[in-house]
C-alpha cells in the first residue's frame, strides 16, 4: 500500500530488535526508510526485508553514532533520503553494571553511548524538525531510567537524562508543529537481553513495543510506556519509600 | 539440548562449526511445531532458526518469494495476501517456518491438487557442517534436493528458500460440509469432490460403533472469487493452564462428538475467511493443554488406495473398541502427485490423523495395534507427529532410506534419528 506522498523515516540504530520491528510497520505503510547503524551487511538484510514488505525505498547509512558528528551527518542522511518526517532513535547498549563499578571507563562508555551521543543526535534532529516545522522525534528510553536500582543504575541514569532531554525538546516544540516523545519499554525480548531468562508477564515482544513506538510518532507523549502497563508499575515503584525499596531485592 | 538463537545470517557459520564439534552433533530447528522428537537433539546442540526471519525478495508480478529459512508461513501470508497470493500448500498451523515445512515436506487439504510443500520450492541454500554452502535447486542431479525435502533436517542447515506462491482472487473460502453416515460414503464423496474442489478433508467420530462406524463430516472448499484480500489478525482465546485429566475422557468425548455431529451434521454452505478454515487450532493458544499434564500422542498414517477402505475401517473399529476416542480425527485422501522428497510422508492413498490422551500402557498398546494394521496395508507413519514409532516400522515404511543416508551431513543428528537406530 503506497500512499501518494510516503512518509520519510530515519531509524538511528536500525539493527536494534525494536527498530527492526518498527521499520516493518513503516514498510507496510509504503514509507521511505533510512537505516543507520554500524553493520552495513546486516542493514542490507533488513533493507531487503523491508522492500519485500512494501517500503517505497530503503537507504543504508553506515555510521557509528558515538564518533560521528550529529548535525552534519543527520543533514546528509536526510538529504539523501529526500526528507525526514519521523526520526526514531533506537540504538543503545545495556552494558555490564558490575564491570562499570570496577572499571570507570566501562561506566563512561555506557553513559557515552546511551546519553552523551544520543543527546547529540536528539538535539540535531530537534533543530532539523524545528526548521522544517513538522515531524516527530521518538527516542527509546527505558523504565530503568525511572528509579535507580543496583542492577543497572548507570544505564538507568543515562536513560533518565535522555528522558528529561526529550521532554524538554517537546516543551520547546510546543505550538511550533513538531513533536518529541520518549518511549520507555520494559524488558523486551531482543539481542540486548540475550541470555536472560525470558517469559512471564513482564516481558514484551519487540513487535509489541514497536506498535507503541509507531503510534507515538503520530500522537501522544511526551512520555509513553511500552507496553502501557509499565506506567502503572513504575508509578508504584517510584512511590515506594527508600527505606522499603532498599530492602527489596530486584 | 544447547540452543543457539542467531538473529543475522553472518552468525550462522560460527554456530554451525561450534555445534557440529560437540557430542551428538547439531540440528537446525524451526518453531518446534513438530509433535515428536524429530525437532529435538537430546544432549547435542541445536540452532533455532526462527530468528532468521527476513524476506530477501518478493516479486509481486510472479509471486516468487525468497526468504530466510526462519520466516513463518504466518509472515508470508501477511505479505502475500494483499498482493493477491497464497501459500500453495499449508499445514494446519501457520506458525511453522520455511525450513520446518521443507524438512517435513508438509501437506495440506489440497494434496490431491498441489501435492506437498516441496513441489513449490524452487531452490534453497544449504549450509553443511564441513563449512560448505550450496544452492540446491529442482534441477539438482546429485540427489541432495530430494534428500533435503522431507529430510528431517539431517542433510544440513537450510538457510534461505525460494518459494512459488499461488495467485488468489480472494482470501475467503467457499466451503460446503456434508455429513456421511459410514466410511464408504467418505470414499465416494472424496472421489466425487476431487475434480471440483481444491480442498477436501473429513472429521471422523472415532467413538461411533456398529452401524455408525466411520460416520463423520466431509468438508470441501475452494477459494472464493469475491476480490477481498484481507489478512486476518485475530488472536483468539488461549488455554492458560493444563486442564484436569478428567476433562477429556470417554464420556465427554462421546458427548462432544454426538453434539458436534448433530450441530455440524447438516449439509451447509458458507463463505469464511481463510484463517478459521486452514488454522482452527491457531485461534486457541495452548490448545494442547486441554489434554492435561500427561499430554497426548499424535498418530498419523497413510495407507495405499487399494486397501484404504478396509484398513481404515479396521483402524476405526480397533479405536472404538479400545474406547480411546480421538478428539481430532481427520481423514483425507492423498492424490497421485508424486512427493519430491526421498523421505516425504505423503504417498497416494488415505491418511488418518489422530490424537489420543496419554493413558500410559493402554494407549501405547492401542497404537501398537494400529501399527500392525498400517504395516500390513503397506502404509507408513508421519515422523513429524511421532514420539514412539518402532524403528522397524520406520524402515518398512520408507524404502528410499538407503538412498537417503549417503546425503546426510555427518555433523547433524536428532533424537528421532538416534531412536531409529540408523
Ligand atoms: C496444530 C498443528 C497442525 C499441523 N497440521 C499439519 C498438516 O496439516 N500437515 C502437515 O504436514 N503437518 C502438520 N503439522 C506438523 C507441522 O507442520 C510440521 O511439524 C512442521 O515441520 C513444523 O515446522 P517448524 O518450523 O515448527 O519446525 P520444527 O518442528 O522445529 O522442526 C521440524 C523439522 O524441520 C527441521 N528444520 C527446521 N528448520 C530447519 C532448517 N532451517 N534447516 C534444516 N532443517 C530444519 C528440524 O530439524 C526438524 O526435523 C501440524 C502441526 C501442528 C502443531
Ligand atoms: N531490550 C530491552 O529490554 C529494552 C528495554 C528498555 C529499553 N530498551 C532500549 O530500546 C532501544 C532498543 O533496544 P533493543 O533491545 O532493540 O536493542 P538491540 O537489539 O540490542 O540493538 C541495539 C542496537 O544499537 C546499536 N548500537 C549500539 N551502539 C552503537 C554505536 N555506537 N553506533 C551505532 N550503533 C550502535 C547496535 O549496533 P551493533 O549491532 O553494531 O552493535 C544495535 O543494533 C535501546 O535504546 C535500549 O536501551 C531496550
Q: Tell me the pLDDT tens digit for each residue of B56-73.
A: 999 999 999 999 999 999
Which of A120, A115, A110, A88 is closest to A19 using CA atoms? Answer: A88
Residues B220 and B108 grouped into a single domain:
no
Residues B100 and B52 grouped into a single domain:
yes
Residues B250 and B338 grouped into a single domain:
yes
At residue B252, the pLDDT reads: 66
At residue B209, the pLDDT reads: 83
Q: Is B222 helix (H, G, I), strand (E, B) or coil?
A: strand
The answer, yes or no, to whether residue B140 has pLDDT greater than 70, is yes
Q: What is the mean pLDDT of residues B330-359?
A: 95
At residue B248, the pLDDT reads: 57
To the nearest whole Å, the CA of A53 is away from the closest chain B CA by 6
Percent of chain B with pLDDT over 70: 91
Alpha carbon B338 to its chain centroid, in Å, reads 17
**Residue B178 located in a structural domain:** yes
Q: What is the mean pLDDT of residues B255-277?
A: 80
Q: How confident is the model at residue B128 (pLDDT cuts 50, 70, 90)?
A: very high
Last residue in a domain, options B141, B168, B195: B168
To the nearest whole Å, the CA of A30 is away from the closest chain B CA by 12
At residue B43, the pLDDT reads: 87
Which of B7, B76, B288, B252 is closest to A19 using CA atoms? Answer: B7
Q: Which residues of chain B does A23 touch, with a Cβ-Cβ cutoff of 8 Å?
A: none
Report the CATH number at residue B152: 3.30.465.10
Residues B218 and B324 grouped into a single domain:
yes
**Residue B129 located in a structural domain:** yes
B54 part of contact set with chain A, CB < 8 Å: yes
At residue A152, the pLDDT reads: 95
The answer, yes or no, to whether residue B198 has pLDDT greater than 90, is yes
Q: What is the mean pLDDT of residues A46-73?
A: 98
Phi then psi for residue A12, to 5 deg, are -95, 110
Which of A42, B327, A234 is closest to A11 using CA atoms? Answer: A42
In this prediction the ipTM stands at 0.92
- What domains are defined for chain A? 8-245 (3.40.50.720)
Angstrom distance (rounded) from CA B160 to CA B130: 18
User: Which residue numbers of A have CB closer than 8 Å to B's CBs?
Assistant: 1, 17, 41-42, 45-46, 48-49, 51-54, 191, 194
The answer, yes or no, to whether residue A70 has pLDDT greater than 70, is yes
Q: How many domains does chain B have?
A: 2
Q: Tell me the pLDDT tens digit for each residue of A188-222.
A: 999 999 888 888 889 999 999 999 999 999 999 89
* Average pLDDT over all residues of chain A: 95
Instruction: Pick the ligand that lies closest to the CA of residue B382.
Output: 1
Half-sphere exposure of A105 (CA within 13 A, CB side): 0
Q: Is the pTM of this model over 0.90?
A: yes
At residue A1, the pLDDT reads: 45
Three-state helix/strand/coil letters over B273-328: EHHHHHCHHHHCECHHHHHCCCCEEEEEEEECHHHHHHHHHHHHHHHHHHCCCCCC
Q: Which residues of chain B does A193 touch, with a Cβ-Cβ cutoff of 8 Å?
A: none
**Whether residue A155 lies in the annotated active site:** yes
Q: How confident is the model at residue B36 (pLDDT cuts 50, 70, 90)?
A: confident
**Residue B413 located in a structural domain:** no
**Residue B363 located in a structural domain:** yes
Given A26, A91, A153, A155, the catalytic residue: A155
Query: Is B330 a pocket residue for ligand 1 (Cβ < 6 Å)?
Result: no
Probe target for ligand 1 pocket from B96, B284, B347, with the most ligand atoms within 8 Å of CB: B96
**Residue B113 located in a structural domain:** yes
Q: Tell me the pLDDT tens digit for each residue of B87-105.
A: 999 999 999 999 999 999 9
Residues B98 and B235 grouped into a single domain:
no
Q: Tell me the pLDDT tens digit for each residue of B168-183.
A: 999 999 999 999 999 9
Lowest mean pLDDT segment, chosen from B45-49, B204-208, B323-327: B323-327
Angstrom distance (rounded) from CA B51 to CA B55: 12
Q: Tell me the pLDDT tens digit for each residue of B332-341.
A: 999 999 999 9
CB pairs under 8 A between A and B: 31
Chain A CA closest to residue B83? A1
Q: List, edge to edge, every strand of the sheet that includes B133-137.
A: B55-59, B64-68, B157-164, B121-127, B133-137
- Out of A41, A45, A54, the one facing B54 most closely (by C-beta) is A45
Probe target for ligand 2 pocket from A13, A139, A155, with the most ligand atoms within 8 Å of CB: A13
Residues B52 and B143 grouped into a single domain:
yes
Q: What is the mean pLDDT of residues B152-162?
A: 98
Q: Tell me the pLDDT tens digit for each residue of B267-317.
A: 788 999 999 999 988 877 666 666 666 778 899 999 999 999 999 999 999
**Residue B403 located in a structural domain:** no
| Contact (Cβ atoms closer than 8 angstroms) between residue B188 and residue B181 | no
Residues B245 and B355 grouped into a single domain:
yes
Domain that holds residue B268: 172-391
At residue B189, the pLDDT reads: 97
The answer, yes or no, to whether residue A157 has pLDDT greater than 60, is yes
Residues B94 and B178 grouped into a single domain:
no
Residues B16 and B58 grouped into a single domain:
yes
B10 part of contact set with chain A, CB < 8 Å: yes
The answer, yes or no, to whether residue A102 has pLDDT greater than 80, is yes
Of the two residues B126 and B252, the one the predictor is more confident about is B126
CB contact under 8 A, B57 and A51: yes
The answer, yes or no, to whether residue B250 has pLDDT greater than 70, is no
Residues B182 and B265 grouped into a single domain:
yes
Residue with cell 515503584: A237
At residue B264, the pLDDT reads: 67
* Highest mean pLDDT (candidates A194-203, B149-158, B353-362): B149-158
**Residue B368 located in a structural domain:** yes
The answer, yes or no, to whether residue B376 has pLDDT greater than 50, is yes
Beta strands A136-140; A86-89: pairing state: parallel
Q: Virtual CA dihedral for A142, A143, A147, A149, nearest 10 degrees?
A: -80
Report the CATH number at residue B255: 3.30.70.2520
**Residue B406 located in a structural domain:** no
Residues B197 and B137 grouped into a single domain:
no
Of the two residues B285 and B230, the one the predictor is more confident about is B230
* Average pLDDT over all residues of chain B: 91
Mutate to test the interface with B, among A19, A48, A56 (most CBs of B within 10 A): A48
Lowest mean pLDDT segment, chosen from A214-228, B101-115, B209-223: B209-223
* Highest mean pLDDT (candidates A23-27, A245-249, B265-269): A23-27
Q: Which residues of chain B does A38 touch, with a Cβ-Cβ cutoff of 8 Å?
A: none
Residue with cell 501518494: A4
- Give residue ranges with CB within 6 A of ligand 2: A 13, 15-18, 37-39, 64-66, 90-93, 113, 140, 142, 185, 187-188, 190-193
The answer, yes or no, to whether residue B84 has pLDDT greater than 70, is yes
Last residue in a domain, options B111, B137, B168: B168
Residues B45 and B20 grouped into a single domain:
yes
Amino acid at each position: 500500500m503506497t500512499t501518494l506522498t510516503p512518509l520519510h523515516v530515519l531509524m538511528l540504530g536500525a539493527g536494534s530488535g525494536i527498530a527492526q520491528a518498527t521499520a516493518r510497520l513503516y514498510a507496510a505503510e509504503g514509507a521511505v526508510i533510512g537505516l543507520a547503524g554500524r553493520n552495513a551487511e546486516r542493514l542490507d538484510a533488513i533493507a531487503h526485508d523491508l522492500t519485500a514488505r512494501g517500503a517505497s525505498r530503503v537507504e543504508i547509512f553506515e555510521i557509528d553514532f558515538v564518533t560521528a558528528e550529529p548535525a552534519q551527518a543527520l543533514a546528509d542522511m536526510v538529504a539523501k533520503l529526500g526528507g525526514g518526517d519521523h526520526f526514531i532513535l533506537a540504538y543503545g547498549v545495556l552494558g555490564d553494571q558490575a564491570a562499570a563499578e570496577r572499571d570507570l571507563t566501562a561506566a563512561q562508555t555506557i553513559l557515552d553511548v546511551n546519553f552523551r551521543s544520543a543527546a547529540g543526535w536528539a538535539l540535531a534532529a530537534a533543530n532539523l524538525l524545528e526548521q522544517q516545522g513538522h515531524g516527530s522525534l521518538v527516542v527509546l528510553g527505558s523504565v530503568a531510567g525511572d528509579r535507580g536500582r543496583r542492577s543497572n543504575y548507570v544505564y538507568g541514569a543515562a536513560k533518565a537524562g535522555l528522558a528529561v532531554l526529550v521532554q524538554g525538546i517537546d516543551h520547546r516544540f510546543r505550538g511550533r508543529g513538531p513533536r518529541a516523545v520518549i518511549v520507555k519499554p520494559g524488558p523486551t525480548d531482543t539481542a540486548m537481553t540475550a541470555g536472560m531468562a525470558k517469559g512471564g508477564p513482564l516481558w514484551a515482544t519487540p513487535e509489541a513495543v514497536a506498535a507503541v513506538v509507531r503510534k507515538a510518532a503520530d500522537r501522544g507523549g511526551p512520555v509513553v510506556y511500552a507496553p502501557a502497563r509499565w506506567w502503572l508499575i513504575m508509578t508504584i515503584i517510584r512511590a515506594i519509600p527508600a527505606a522499603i525499596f532498599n530492602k527489596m531485592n530486584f | 539440548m544447547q540452543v543457539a538463537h542467531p538473529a543475522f545470517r553472518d552468525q550462522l557459520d560460527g554456530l554451525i562449526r561450534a555445534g557440529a564439534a560437540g557430542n551428538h552433533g547439531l540440528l537446525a530447528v524451526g518453531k518446534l511445531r513438530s509433535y515428536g522428537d524429530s525437532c529435538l537433539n537430546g544432549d547435542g546442540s541445536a540452532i533455532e532458526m526462527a530468528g532468521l526471519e527476513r524476506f530477501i525478495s518478493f516479486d509481486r508480478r510472479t509471486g516468487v518469494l525468497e526468504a530466510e529459512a526462519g520466516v513463518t508461513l504466518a509472515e508470508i501470508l501477511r505479505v502475500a495476501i494483499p498482493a493477491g497470493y497464497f501459500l500453495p500448500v499449508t499445514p494446519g498451523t501457520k506458525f511453522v517456518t520455511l525450513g520446518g515445512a521443507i524438512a517435513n515436506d508438509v501437506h495440506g487439504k489440497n494434496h490431491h491438487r498441489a501435492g506437498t510443500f516441496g513441489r513449490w520450492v524452487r531452490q534453497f541454500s544449504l549450509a553443511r557442517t564441513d563449512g560448505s554452502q550450496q544452492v540446491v535447486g529442482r534441477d539438482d542431479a546429485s540427489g541432495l534436493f530430494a534428500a533435503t525435502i522431507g529430510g528431517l533436517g539431517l542433510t544440513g542447515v537450510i538457510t534461505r528458500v525460494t518459494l512459488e506462491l499461488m495467485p488468489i482472487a480472494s482470501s475467503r473460502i467457499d466451503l460446503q460440509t456434508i455429513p456421511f453416515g459410514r466410511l464408504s460414503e467418505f470414499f465416494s464423496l472424496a472421489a466425487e469432490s476431487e475434480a471440483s474442489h481444491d480442498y477436501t478433508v473429513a472429521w471422523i467420530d472415532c467413538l461411533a460403533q456398529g452401524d455408525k462406524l466411520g460416520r463423520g463430516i466431509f468438508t470441501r472448499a475452494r477459494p472464493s472469487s469475491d476480490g477481498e484480500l484481507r489478512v486476518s489478525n485475530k488472536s483468539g482465546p488461549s488455554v492458560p493452564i493444563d486442564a484436569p485429566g478428567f476433562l477429556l475422557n470417554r464420556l465427554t468425548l462421546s458427548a462432544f462428538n454426538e453434539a458436534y455431529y448433530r450441530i455440524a451434521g447438516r449439509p451447509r454452505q458458507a463463505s469464511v475467511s481463510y484463517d478459521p478454515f486452514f488454522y482452527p487450532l491457531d485461534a486457541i493458544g495452548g490448545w494442547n493443554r486441554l489434554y492435561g499434564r500427561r499430554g497426548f500422542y499424535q498418530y498419523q498414517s497413510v495407507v495405499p488406495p487399494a486397501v484404504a477402505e478396509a484398513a481404515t475401517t479396521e483402524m476405526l473399529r480397533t479405536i472404538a473398541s479400545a474406547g480411546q476416542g480421538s478428539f481430532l480425527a481427520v481423514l483425507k485422501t492423498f492424490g497421485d502427485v508424486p512427493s519430491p522428497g526421498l523421505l516425504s510422508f505423503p504417498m497416494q492413498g488415505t491418511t488418518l490423523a489422530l490424537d489420543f490422551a496419554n493413558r500410559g500402557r493402554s494407549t501405547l498398546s492401542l497404537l501398537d495395534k494400529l501399527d500392525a494394521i498400517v504395516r500390513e496395508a503397506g502404509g507408513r507413519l508421519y515422523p513429524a507427529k511421532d514420539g514412539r514409532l518402532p524403528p522397524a516400522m520406520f524402515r518398512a515404511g520408507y524404502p528410499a532410506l538407503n538412498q537417503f543416508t549417503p546425503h546426510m551431513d555427518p555433523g547433524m543428528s536428532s533424537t528421532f534419528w538416534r531412536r531409529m537406530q540408523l
